[in-house]
Amino acid sequence: MTATGLVTAVSVGTTNIVATSEGRSGQVTFTVRSPIASVTVSGSSRVKVGDLYTYTTIARAADGSIVDRPVVWGVRESGRALVTQSGALTPLQPGSFTLVARIDGEDWVTTPTAYDWASFASSGRGFLTIESDLQVANRFGRSDYTSFTIACGGTGPFFVWITIPHMITASGLVTYGFDGGSLVSETWQELSPSFNTLWHPSSGSGARAYAQRVALARRFTIAWSEFNASARATQYRVTGLAERLPAHLTTYCPTVLRAEGQSAPAGDNSIEDQRREVTALFAARRAGQSVAPLHPDAREREMRGPASSSSPLLNAWPTWSTPPQMLARRERR
């Protein structure tokens, strides 16, 4: 410290600074802390609109040691998300936003991305679709988000299905559950020749009732078997469907339409043809993510015919225990 009062910190610790003037003195306690060199934010980088996520930070000095500092949380884009001072975040809109952890007067930022249900219409049909919460890797190592879709219209039946890009299903056997409750095993229908789509076995009132059951849940988890590989599973965060489904039903399918096995009206395609049509439309919207019909596994799968053996689906049941970590970027104010 100089005679003019200029203080230079030379080491970490606490000291007293004394000033004397005209026989009187005063003192102040001065604390030197290690500057923060990096901040890691623990929490999801991909978040579902309307769900609640918790974030924490670990701040480190240049030598790698952890330093304890208070954090002030914020979201830079107003209206994109809400975050409490305990780090509890709720995304409000799809798209990316800037999550700010202010520590020692400096902003450390990460950029999570929010997703939600998407809706669109084509040829008189209405579609509601959402991507899975987790990616699924096929036996070749490619990872994709699967999709859960509800579709209906005035000229065709009610459909519910999941699409698994770049993966060939081994059979229609699935096991699913809602919100960690009891599990159900049943046979869904595969759509040839791509074998990357599993349809709920009912295409009329049963599928409609199933969509309404999904709307009552927060999480929908499903497992299936991959052709020439082990079982796979993923989870969908289906919050928000309960608010969207009634308007969807009113607009596109106010009545229960014909079901599997019923004869088609004159000039109407079969249910299987309509499945292919809506699958092709949906694949076109997911440009570059659909399985090519002539994939070798798909050809082999079709030649073998329906698979009847069961699979150890529950061995693939996903678990979520450790949140991902993101290295925050420093933005000086």
pTM comes to: 0.81
Shared domain check, 63 and 76: yes
Shared domain check, 288 and 215: yes
Site of tokens 């020439």: 228
Among 131, 108, 89, 90, residue whose Cα is nearest residue 38: 108
How far apart are the C-alpha atoms of 97 and 86, rounded to whole Å?
A: 18
Shared domain check, 161 and 253: yes
Residue 175: its H or E element: strand 173-178
Q: How far apart are the first and last CA of the chain?
A: 27
Task: Check: CB of residue 18 under 8 Å from CB of residue 25.
Answer: yes
Task: Check: CB of residue 280 under 8 Å from CB of residue 273.
Answer: no
pLDDT score, position 267: 44
pLDDT score, position 260: 47
Domain count, the chain: 2
Sorted by sequence, the CB contacts under 8 Å of residue 67 that are 6+ apart come out as 33, 34, 36, 59, 60, 61
Shared domain check, 159 and 302: yes
Residue 225: its H or E element: strand 219-225
pLDDT score, position 158: 86
Question: Is residue 6 included in any domain, yes or no?
Answer: no
Shared domain check, 242 and 127: yes
pLDDT in tens, 163-217: 998 999 998 999 999 998 999 999 999 888 889 999 998 878 889 999 999 999 9
How far apart are the C-alpha atoms of 41 and 87, rounded to whole Å?
A: 10
pLDDT in tens, 41-61: 999 999 999 999 999 999 999
Question: Is residue 42 included in any domain, yes or no?
Answer: yes
Shared domain check, 143 and 49: no
pLDDT band at 256 (very low <50, low <70, confident <90, very high): low
Question: Is residue 286 included in any domain, yes or no?
Answer: yes
pLDDT in tens, 286-322: 665 555 555 788 888 888 876 655 455 656 666 655 6
CA distances (Å), origin 131, targets 18, 141, 155, 270 = 63, 19, 26, 28
Site of tokens 């208070």: 70
Q: At residue 255, does pLDDT exceed 90?
A: no
Sorted by sequence, the CB contacts under 8 Å of residue 92 that are 6+ apart come out as 49, 50, 79, 80, 81, 82, 114
Which of the 8 DSSP states describes residue 226? B
Shared domain check, 122 and 213: yes
Candidate ranges 75-79, 259-263, 266-270, 315-319; pick with highest mean pLDDT: 75-79
Shared domain check, 86 and 187: no
Question: Is residue 95 included in any domain, yes or no?
Answer: yes
Shared domain check, 293 and 161: yes
Shared domain check, 238 and 151: yes
Domain that holds residue 274: 118-261+269-316
Kindly report the CATH number assigned to the domain that includes residue 68.
2.60.40.1930
Q: What percent of the chain has pLDDT over 70?
A: 74
Which of the 8 DSSP states describes residue 313? G
Shared domain check, 192 and 54: no
Question: Is residue 26 included in any domain, yes or no?
Answer: no
Residue 246: its H or E element: helix 241-252
pLDDT band at 279 (very low <50, low <70, confident <90, very high): confident
pLDDT score, position 10: 52
Question: Is residue 181 included in any domain, yes or no?
Answer: yes
Question: Is residue 177 included in any domain, yes or no?
Answer: yes
What type of residue sits at position 188? Answer: W
Give burial (CB, 10 Å; 0-12/13-18/19+) of 288: exposed
Candidate ranges 47-56, 118-127, 260-269; pick with highest mean pLDDT: 47-56
Shared domain check, 288 and 160: yes
Question: Vertex 317, ends 229 and 150: CA angle to 5°?
Answer: 90
